[in-house]
Amino acid sequence: MSSRERQPRPLREVVFVDGVRTPFGKAGPKGLYAETRADDLVVRCIRELLRRNPALPADRIDEVAIAATTQIGDQGLTIGRTAALLAGLPKSVPGYAIDRMCAGAMTAVTTTASGIAFGAYDVAIAGGVEHMGRHPMGEGVDPNPRILSEKLVDPSALVMGSTAENLHDRFPHLTKERADAFALASQQKYAKAVANGQIGPELVTVATRSAEHGWGVATLDEPPRPQTTLEGLASLKTPFRPHGHVTAGNAAGLNDGATGCLLAAEDVALELGLGVGMRLVGYGFAGVEPEVMGVGPIPSTEKALARTGLSIEDVGLFELNEAFAVQVLAFLDHFGIADDDERVNPWGGAIAVGHPLASSGVRLMTQLSRQFAERPDVRYGLTAMCIGLGMGGTVIWENPTWEGFAT
């Protein structure tokens, strides 16, 4: 063979080893993390991943990718690198920051996973953080005036709640009553999962500080409202337009929190004796009209399914980010899935637990991985989310405990 001839390079299987997150807090001066730094939240996740996986030598980590939507202050300064240093990783471990708004952590996973598949990395940490109390969405931005003057997007595209109202306009059969019913179910499923011990083991405790109350420890999610009723949801104000559909009850709140996960080449995970929570099958990102960004997960899912040779019927579990109930309903209607299908967000979603923007993608993945361990009858699962400025992201995973592998 000539030295100039090249053979195709085989890709490696990539696995999700483990995932953790902080309890999610309410953004604002009275929230859990009002006086806690964003980078300290990420550091707790990185340290917990190492504590839970003692077989992994810290110097085997090849990359740390941490997402933040608002990369300023304690969420700035290339947070993937600074968080790695603060967590005590060897100085030889590099890191970087990443931004795809709500899908930041999801993109941190797909980007580092692609590096692992290609052979550039063996092991990586990916995650995200958002301290919306310290850094509200859009802080410090300076949109180019051409965006509006040349009508590149509708002005409502810059207000996420307005984009959800636009979805209700576009799909009038997605009523407020359906959105409220879906929101109530999210609260109820989350409460049941906590009571069953299904949500909780992935949480890492965080020391909190308050000038007024002193030191404390965050151990539980702050946003859930288990006392929610349909009557209460129906009475809430519609802040984005008079007589609208979107309320604080059928949308995720403003939240603070961080997530982190450990990814590895499957052969390396086996070599090191690491667990395998799930195997990456494929992913897709897609763009849509920014003023209806909530439909983004539809084309991204179609793309991911087409490129992996799967169909929606092959998916046994769905973890869909509930930025707004209406965007999940649009996804379900498109794919012919019932609002109350048991495969969808079986432990509740962001309407209950919260949505700290860039961190949420790894929460979805961590939750799916834990569900896989309980469900050997399910082979494939899917994590998907809508993304600000008109995008969607979808990642498809395979359950390593699927009972079909034993036959």
390: left (phi over 0), alpha (psi -120 to 50) or beta: left
210: left (phi over 0), alpha (psi -120 to 50) or beta: beta
CA distance 122 to 268: 7
CA distance 357 to 360: 6
Q: Which residues are catalytic?
A: 102, 355, 386
310: its two tokens: 């799967």
Q: How many CA atoms lie within 13 A of 193 on its CB side?
A: 24
- Output DSSP code: residue 314: G
Q: State the pLDDT confidence band at 352, using cuts at 50, 70 and 90.
A: very high
* Residue recorded with tokens 């990395």: 121
CA distance 22 to 168: 33
Q: Does the pLDDT value for residue 357 go beyond 90?
A: yes
Mean pLDDT of the chain: 96
Return the CATH superfamily for domain 14-132+154-397.
Answer: Thiolase/Chalcone synthase (3.40.47.10)
What pLDDT score does 3 carry?
Answer: 56
398: its two tokens: 């395979």
* Residue recorded with tokens 């797909």: 110
What pLDDT score does 212 carry?
Answer: 87
Supply the DSSP string of 107-172, one letter for each residue.
HHHHHHHHHHHHTS-SEEEEEEEEETTTS-TTTT----THHHHTTSS-GGGG-HHHHHHHHHHH-T
Q: Does the pLDDT value for residue 42 go beyond 50?
A: yes
**Digit-coded pLDDT (tens) for 266-295:** 999 999 999 999 999 999 999 999 999 999
**Digit-coded pLDDT (tens) for 168-199:** 999 999 999 999 999 999 999 999 999 999 99
Mean pLDDT of 219-224: 97
Burial class (CB in 10 A: 0-12, 13-18, 19+), 30: exposed
CA distance 314 to 316: 6
The SS3 of residue 286 is strand
Name the least confident of 139-143, 317-321, 382-386, 389-393: 139-143
Q: Give the β-pairing of 380-387 and 63-67.
A: unpaired
CA distance 76 to 70: 8
CA distance 154 to 290: 8
The H or E element containing residue 258 is: strand 255-265
CA distance 300 to 110: 13
What pLDDT score does 5 carry?
Answer: 75
Are the CB atoms for 257 and 354 separated by under 8 Å?
yes
The SS3 of residue 57 is coil
Q: State the pLDDT confidence band at 348, using cuts at 50, 70 and 90.
A: very high
CA distance 94 to 63: 5
What pLDDT score does 354 carry?
Answer: 97
Q: Where are the domains of the chain?
A: 14-132+154-397
Q: Does the pLDDT value for residue 2 go beyond 70?
A: no
CA distance 104 to 38: 15
What pLDDT score does 383 carry?
Answer: 98
Q: State the pLDDT confidence band at 88, using cuts at 50, 70 and 90.
A: very high
What pLDDT score does 1 carry?
Answer: 47
Mean pLDDT of 304-322: 98
The H or E element containing residue 317 is: strand 315-320
CA distance 301 to 331: 9
Q: How many CA atoms lie within 13 A of 344 on its CB side?
A: 25
Enter the pTM of the model.
0.96
